[in-house]
Amino acid sequence: MLNLAKTWHDLHRETLSFGQRLADSVASGMGSWKFINIQSGIVVVWMAVNLWAYTAHWDPFPFILLNLLFSTQAAYAAPIIMMSQNRQNERDRAQALADFETNLEAKREIEALQIKLNQLEIEKLDKIIALLTEKKDEK
């Protein structure tokens, strides 16, 4: 079985705390169409029940409680999303550094190959010159 080294992403993920992974999950969930659709459905049901309910309305129009819930959700969502974005920036920096190191290593290898090819070319030219000199001396 092939034993591959861990990537920069694997190493970065291992350093995340539970809170950081939770913040990334929350930000990922809140930034999806599934969340938008579920929340829209809840709002429609909330408003419908409070407008047409046969029993006491717990949040009559203009839906102050619903607005309070949205404000509370936004108050917690914004910093969680910002934490996740900060980690995304950290991941981007780690990836850029890994790419830079890979490119630097590739550059070194290419330069070493170029030196080796130049040496081989010089050796070939020296052999050709030696052969031409021998032929010239024979004549």
Mean pLDDT over residues 29-42, rounded? 90
- The answer to whether the beta carbons of residues 65 and 59 sit under 8 Å apart is yes
> pLDDT tens digits, residue range 43-94?
898 888 887 766 667 777 788 888 999 999 999 888 888 888 888 888 888 8
Flag whether the pTM goes above 0.75.
no
Residue 1: pLDDT band (50, 70, 90) is very low
Distances in whole angstroms, Cα of residue 107 to Cα of each of 91, 93, 94: 24, 21, 20
Tell me what pLDDT residue 23 has. 83
